[in-house]
Amino acid sequence: MKYDVIIVASGKGLRAGLGYNKVFYRMKDGKRVIDHSLELFGNDEDCERIIVVTNEEFIDELKDENVILVKGGKERKDSVRNGLDKATSEYVFIHDGARPFLRKESLEALKEKVVETDAALLGRMAFDTIKEVKDGKVVRTLDRRNIFLAETPQAFKTTLIKECFEKCEDIVFTDDASLVESLGYEVSIVIDEYDNRKLTSSEDFRDL
């Protein structure tokens, strides 16, 4: 299979408290957060294009002959749509630039699943007890055996996800898989057994 990857790397890093885009944070290994993703996908022979969507002011920091740079949009869905305009391979993976810990084993499993099902994402099982709350009161306790926390990459047949984005103007969605789900398509999950967390708050950057 062949795929393109869209790495979403827009943002100001406000919650991280860094004062700049968190994907440029330099970790103890000397690499920036986003470099880990660029390296992983860049070394995958099945990856035909790396498309990085970022703010205009960060374009110069990411210039690379092996990367297609695209300006971000007003909202995340606009940024992803801009990236999709450059995707031409049969499949497209959409990944958060702030997830530097993606493992090759997880990527390979996701590649197999998306070829089988056309839409798939990485996710990890919920180990905490999950409560549904309304107006400050617990409505019910959910069965955590059926609860998974969505991660990225999320992978799709390119024609499918482009079709979904053409219909998304009036749809509220928090990730690309939920958009596909809302339009009646099935999305499969690949359980990620490795640390693939997203760096968000200032605490996430301790000891990196």
pLDDT band at 14 (very low <50, low <70, confident <90, very high): low
Domains of the chain: 3-205 (3.90.550.10)
- Supply the pLDDT for residue 49: 98
Whether the pTM exceeds 0.85: the reply is yes
> Between 76-84 and 158-166, two packed helices, what is the crossing angle to 10 degrees?
130
Least confident of 38-42, 46-50, 62-66: 62-66
Identify the CA nearest to 72 among candidates 21, 12, 10, 24: 10
